[in-house]
Amino acid sequence: MEFIDLKAQYRALQPAIDAGVRKVLESTRFIGGPEVKELENRLADFVGRKHCITCANGTEALQLAFMAYGISSGDAVFCPDMTFISSVEPAVMLGATPVFCDIDPETYNLDPISLLRQVQRVEQEGKWRPRFVVAVDFLGNPADFEAISRICKEHNLILIEDAAQATGASYQGKRCGSFGDIATTSFFPSKPLGCYGDGGAVFTDDDEIAGLLNSFKVHGKGPKGKYDNVRIGLNSRLDTLQAAVLLAKLDVLEEEIEARQRVAARYNDAFRGKVQIPAVSKGNISAYAQYCVLAENSELRQQVLDTMKEAEVPSLIYYPNVLHELDAFAPYEGDRQLMAAKKYAECNFGLPFSPYLTEEDQQKVIEVVLSAL
């Protein structure tokens, strides 16, 4: 059994993927081929945003977003304490200060109350300028955009939606990637929409920001082309082969999201009351990039993981650390009482999950996990 079954997905989509890849190989337009623009147009439509600008990976998508809004040292960037390091790493690399906030204990997403408390603390201290909030759709579950957007408006903060785990998810009928001033995603192979290498994208409705992103991602190119460099930028393009793979996968993304709901419902029914199951707020659809549950405590989690290992059922702790305890962030002070994030790190474990997970395998996972409890 695979933790995320990319082989089964390839078998299902092989004719379309192979044809798309072969077309690129024959055209030899490996950089900037027509598939890239086609993908950007289709993704912008899919998500419901004016512009989609593809780039080299989800981390650089965030970096480009921070650069387009002119991040600088002295800026404070608020983000959940439980996410992948990329949510805030590029901001810190560009000189800003990370401020970690707690998560909601049920949805595992940025807790608006903790966010507000941290924003007010930074405002009062006056050391850093509160500037950005990164709201992550953690595990594919949409963040609480209504409450978070309100805080951002009241405190004049730029909201970035990190939808790396949430392509295909939706919040109150609107697709993830359409929230905040700007949104980013990743096409890392294991994400809900993944390519066969690295890839990412930025979404915006703002023409001026879109222009800056298109410039920054190609060495700060100017209106006269790529040797007319008007600012310092990056080399951050999505290559044509990856775009071809993504076009084939985008055709089935909606069906896959539906299949993910069926697997999640089956797991939910089996595990309700035994472990803490993921909570998706009413009106929202999670992409279930991962299906993670919480054991009552870390000893019980270890017991389950040992049993799974013995039965050769793969598992993954996703993630084992809160960000503020990572050595990389040791120089940054702040509130260290982020209890829900800490509890999540200590008790979570992810189960094998994909739209292609057979009912037989689902049943095996359920039986093995329940036997350990």
Ligand X SMILES: *Cc1c(COP(=O)(O)O)cnc(C)c1O
Quick check: 163 and 58 in contact, CB under 8 A? no
Report in angstroms how near the CB of residue 89 gets to ligand X at its nearest. 9
Quick check: 99 and 125 in contact, CB under 8 A? no
Quick check: 197 and 205 in contact, CB under 8 A? no
Encoded one letter per residue, x for contact with ligand X by CB under 6 A and - for no contact, window 57-86 reads xxx-----------------------xx-x
CB contact set of 331 (below 8 Å; sequence gap of 6+): none
The residue (of 97 and 186) whose beta carbon lies closer to ligand X is 186
The residue (of 238 and 313) whose beta carbon lies closer to ligand X is 238
Which of 200, 233, 350, 352 binds ligand X (CB under 6 A)? It is: 200
CB contact set of 111 (below 8 Å; sequence gap of 6+): 80, 101, 102, 103, 104, 340
Length of the chain: 373
Encoded one letter per residue, x for contact with ligand X by CB under 6 A and - for no contact, window 156-195 reads ------x-xx--------------------x-x-------
Going by C-alpha positions, the residue among 99, 61, 105 that lies closest to residue 78 is 99
Report in angstroms how near the CB of residue 235 gets to ligand X at its nearest. 15
d(CA 24, CA 145): 39
Report in angstroms how near the CB of residue 199 gets to ligand X at its nearest. 7
Report in angstroms how near the CB of residue 122 gets to ligand X at its nearest. 22
| Beta partners for residue 175, in sequence order | 170
CB contact set of 74 (below 8 Å; sequence gap of 6+): 95, 96, 97, 128, 129
d(CA 126, CA 303): 47
**How many residues belong to the site for ligand X (CB under 6 A)?**
15
Encoded one letter per residue, x for contact with ligand X by CB under 6 A and - for no contact, window 126-145 reads ----------x---------
The residue (of 41 and 190) whose beta carbon lies closer to ligand X is 190
Report in angstroms how near the CB of residue 120 gets to ligand X at its nearest. 25
d(CA 337, CA 44): 39
Which of 9, 63, 87, 348 binds ligand X (CB under 6 A)? It is: 87
The residue (of 58 and 352) whose beta carbon lies closer to ligand X is 58
Quick check: 154 and 148 in contact, CB under 8 A? no
Encoded one letter per residue, x for contact with ligand X by CB under 6 A and - for no contact, window 247-286 reads ----------------------------------------
**Chain residues that interact with ligand X, rule: CB under 6 A:** 57-59, 83-84, 86-87, 136, 162, 164-165, 186, 188, 198, 200
